[in-house]
Amino acid sequence: MIDKKIIFEEVILDNLEKAKNTKIINRDINIPLLSNKIKAIYGVRRSGKTYFLFQMINSNYNNDFIYINFEDERLINITVDELNDFLKIALSIKDTKNLFFDEIQNINNWEKFIRRLNDEGYNVFITGSSSKLLSKEIATSLRGRSLSREILPLNFKEFLKFNNVYYKPYLSTAEKSELLSYQNNFFEFGGFPELTFLDDDGLKKEILKEYLDGIFYRDIVERYNIRNIKEVRVLRNILINLYSNEISVKKITNFLKEYNTKISRESIYTYLSYFEDAYLIFSLENFSYKTRTTSNSKLYIIDGIWNFSLNVGGKNKGKILENMVFLELRKNGFIENENIFYCKGRNYEVDFLILNGDERELLQVCYELNEINNDREFGAFKKAINDLGLENVKLKVITHNDEGFKNITVGDKEYTVEILPFWKWSLFIL
């Protein structure tokens, strides 16, 4: 039997080498480097949490750190008790106070170990692939000792940066054509960092399928010990088909019947929370000043997963654009049901209401404006303003490539609606 000490030493040296020598492109994300706080980095699997740790290491700690990835297959089944011996070996190799632990949730009862290191004055960074682990639970697990940052796939600014594309507000015809080609690629596959360096669309879809399966099986099925995998997989596929649509448990139940699948209402609510915890889906509520009386919500999904929608007619460009606008808001710090909502009333729907301090903004998403949808899109603004009593509100329509302004009158007040292509909105307005 190989001595565990030898295995641990190999892991430590390999991980140090990887952290020092991996080439990175910095993300537009920062976290305060307070040594007395545990820095927690969480988010969807494959969104770049490890590379963000490398960014922190290379920018701030030079050669003064220990980095351990607990998804290393040589550390499978390591116990929290063994961590103490592991750390002693690591510190004998590199005497430092700066500790970086990647995918720490793979260790049962990791919280006590991390709290003790914090008590002993170590400067600790941790990552995890479950929003429940490192956002909802972290408040109790680490009891106010932590600072946290969520990492999602690249936003459009970062996507262009990773592709060495530099942009400006006013473009020549050729420059605009090039930027739109990158925007179309972003709409097709989203912003998972690994995919930005690939040219083969078929390979990108294969990798996205691996991501989807990894999220489903590792962050949902394994984590929550789900037994009825077949039924929950059917539910997952139904949700993917319903992206950028309003959903309810009743609607989901009816779809399950079509697939000869039965899941109780209570279980559907539970599984939806699991999917959200793993960042596979996002659920957006209808805004109301009153207590919410409807169980309906709008459903959005993580980058690129619309490639696996089985809706008749294939992928819907308008639905993808709406989903991308939601994700771009999330990636820029807005949170669903805190400062992003949708607005639906009698005979109208506005895709997004944004609450930004004292400012109010209504966003419609429309792939392209035409005579057929003009009245619907702008009429919804008028009804929402009246219905919600909004006065000083900004109005925008986000499109694929349309641009301009339109004035609308509500009562005795005139409003100017700004019409913007996604690229200009995300790069210069958001």
Question: In angstroms, rounded to a whole number, what is the distance separating the alpha carbons of residues 99 and 133?
Answer: 19
Strands 359-365 and 146-151: unpaired
pLDDT tens profile 67-98? 999 999 999 889 888 999 999 999 999 999 99
Instruction: Please give the pLDDT value at position 224.
Output: 92
Given a cut of 80, whether residue 293 has pLDDT beyond it is no
Given a cut of 60, whether residue 212 has pLDDT beyond it is yes
Phi, psi of 62 (to 5 degrees): 45, -115
| Number of helices and strands in the chain (H, E) | 15, 14
Look-up of token digits 């050669």: 63
Q: How far is CA 241 from CA 62, 111, 190, in A?
A: 46, 38, 17
With bands split at pLDDT 50, 70 and 90, how would you rate the model's confidence at 234?
Answer: very high
Residue 85: closest CA among 11, 192, 147: 11
Instruction: Please give the pLDDT value at position 134.
Output: 54
More confident: 68 or 315:
68
pLDDT tens profile 384-401? 999 999 988 999 999 999
Question: In angstroms, rounded to a whole number, what is the distance separating the alpha carbons of residues 165 and 158?
Answer: 10
Q: Start-end ranges of CATH 1.10.10.10 in the chain?
A: 173-429
Instruction: Please give the pLDDT value at position 131.
Output: 58
Given a cut of 60, whether residue 178 has pLDDT beyond it is yes
Cα R_g (the chain), whole angstroms: 24
CATH fold of the domain at 173-429 = Arc Repressor Mutant, subunit A (1.10.10)
With bands split at pLDDT 50, 70 and 90, how would you rate the model's confidence at 430?
Answer: confident
CATH number of 4-151: 3.40.50.300
Given a cut of 80, whether residue 133 has pLDDT beyond it is no
- Quick check: 49 and 42 in contact, CB under 8 A? yes
Mean pLDDT (whole number) for 152-176: 94
SS3 for 415?
strand
Given a cut of 90, whether residue 143 has pLDDT beyond it is no
Phi, psi of 296 (to 5 degrees): -75, 150
3-state secondary structure 86-147: HHHHHHHHCCCCEEEEECHHHCCCHHHHHHHHHHCCCEEEEEECCHHHHHHCHHHHCCCCEE
Q: Start-end ranges of CATH 3.40.50.300 in the chain?
A: 4-151
* 163 secondary structure, DSSP code: T
